[in-house]
A and B are shown apart, each in its own frame.
Chain A
Amino acid sequence: MSELPRDGLVAVVKRDCPTCVLTAPVLGELARRAGITVYTQDDPSFPDTVPGPVDDLGLDISHRLAIEIVPTLIRLDAGHEVDRTYGWDRAEWERVAGIAGLGIDLPRSRPGCGAKNVEPGIIERLKIRFNETGLVSRRIAIGNDEDEYEAMYARGWSDGLPLVPPTEERVLRMLDGTSRDPREVLGLVPPDLAPATVEKIAINAVMAGCKPEQLPVVLAAVEAVLEESFAMHGVLATTMFVGPVVVVNGPIRRQIGMNAKGNALGQGNRANGAIGRALQLVIRNIGGGRPQEVDRATLGNPGKWTYCFAEDEEGSSWEPLSVERGIAPGKSAVTVFAGFGLQGVVDRKSRTPESLARSFAESLKTLFNVKSAPPCDAMLVVCPEHHRTFREAGWTKARLYEELYKLCEIPGEELVAGAKGIAEGGSASRIGTMVNKFRPGGLMIVRAGGDAGMFSGIIGGWSSSGPRGSVPITKEVKR
Chain B
Amino acid sequence: MTVLLDPTSERSPTSRPRLPRPEGLDGLTIGILDIAKSRGDVFLRRLGERLGERGIAVRHYAKPTNTRPAPLPLAQRIATEVDLVIEGLSD
Q: Which residues of B contact A141 (CB under 8 A)?
A: 1-3, 16-17
Interface stretch among A14-22, A128-136, A338-346? A128-136
| Nearest neighbor of A157 in chain B, beta-carbon distance | B7
B7 and A139 form a contact (CB under 8 A) = no
Task: Give CA–CA (A455, B19) in the complex, Å.
Answer: 59
A369–chain B nearest beta-carbon distance, Å: 39
Q: CB within 8 Å of B: which of A141-159? A: 141-144, 148, 151-152, 157
Task: Give CA–CA (A148, B6) in the complex, Å.
Answer: 13
Q: Which residues of A contact B79 (CB under 8 A)?
A: 60, 129-130
A144–chain B nearest beta-carbon distance, Å: 6
| B6, B10, B75, B83: residue with the most chain A Cβ atoms closer than 10 Å | B6
Q: Tell me whether A3 is interfacial, beta carbon within 8 Å.
A: yes
A138 and B5 form a contact (CB under 8 A) = yes
Q: Tell me whether B49 is interfacial, beta carbon within 8 Å.
A: no
- Supposing A1-B80, A132-B72, A166-B4 touch, asked if A139 and B11 sit within 8 A by C-beta, the answer is no
A207 and B7 form a contact (CB under 8 A) = yes
Q: Which residues of A contact B82 (CB under 8 A)?
A: 1
A64 and B5 form a contact (CB under 8 A) = no
Q: Tell me whether A140 is interfacial, beta carbon within 8 Å.
A: yes
B43–chain A nearest beta-carbon distance, Å: 24
B4 and A142 form a contact (CB under 8 A) = yes
Q: Tell me whether B9 is interfacial, beta carbon within 8 Å.
A: yes
Q: Which residues of A contact B6 (CB under 8 A)?
A: 137-140, 203
Q: Which residues of B contact A166 (CB under 8 A)?
A: 4-5, 7
B5 and A140 form a contact (CB under 8 A) = yes
Indicate which residue in A1, A142, A200, A286 contacts B3 across the interface (CB closer than 8 Å): A142
Query: Considering only CB atoms and an 8 Å cut-off, how many residues of chain B contact the other chain?
Result: 24
Task: Give CA–CA (A189, B7) in the complex, Å.
Answer: 13
- Supposing A132-B72, A286-B9 touch, asked if A142 and B2 sit within 8 A by C-beta, the answer is yes
A327–chain B nearest beta-carbon distance, Å: 30
Indicate which residue in A139, A189, A192 contacts B4 across the interface (CB closer than 8 Å): A139
B7 and A200 form a contact (CB under 8 A) = yes
Interface size for chain A: under 10, 10 to 19, 20 to 34, or 35 or more residues? 35 or more
| Nearest neighbor of A171 in chain B, beta-carbon distance | B5
B11 and A288 form a contact (CB under 8 A) = yes
Indicate which residue in B4, B9, B75 contacts A140 across the interface (CB closer than 8 Å): B4
B81 and A148 form a contact (CB under 8 A) = no
Q: Tell me whether A10 is interfacial, beta carbon within 8 Å.
A: no
Q: Tell me whether B8 is interfacial, beta carbon within 8 Å.
A: yes
A291–chain B nearest beta-carbon distance, Å: 16
Q: Which residues of B contact A144 (CB under 8 A)?
A: 1
Indicate which residue in A130, A200, A288 contacts B76 across the interface (CB closer than 8 Å): A130
Q: Tell me whether A436 is interfacial, beta carbon within 8 Å.
A: no
Task: Give CA–CA (A139, B83) in the complex, Å.
Answer: 22
A290–chain B nearest beta-carbon distance, Å: 11
Q: Tell me whether A41 is interfacial, beta carbon within 8 Å.
A: no
Q: Tell me whether A414 is interfacial, beta carbon within 8 Å.
A: no
A4–chain B nearest beta-carbon distance, Å: 8
B31–chain A nearest beta-carbon distance, Å: 10
Task: Give CA–CA (A288, B11) in the complex, Å.
Answer: 10
- Supposing A131-B72, A143-B17 touch, asked if A167 and B3 sit within 8 A by C-beta, the answer is yes
B81–chain A nearest beta-carbon distance, Å: 5
A104–chain B nearest beta-carbon distance, Å: 36
Q: CB within 8 Å of A: which of B1-49? A: 1-11, 14, 16-17, 29
Q: Tell me whether A44 is interfacial, beta carbon within 8 Å.
A: no
Binding site for B on A (CB under 8 A): 1-3, 60-61, 64, 129-132, 135, 137-144, 148, 151-152, 157, 165-168, 171, 189, 192, 194-195, 200, 203-204, 207, 281, 285-288
Please give 9 more A-B residue pairs, beta carbons under 8 A apart, in addition to A152-B4, A165-B4: A1-B80, A1-B81, A3-B80, A140-B4, A157-B8, A167-B5, A189-B9, A192-B9, A288-B11
List 3 tightest A-B contacts by C-beta distance, closest first: A194-B9, A138-B6, A285-B7
A-B contact pairs, 9 of them (CB 8 A): A2-B80, A2-B81, A130-B76, A130-B79, A138-B14, A167-B4, A203-B6, A204-B7, A207-B7
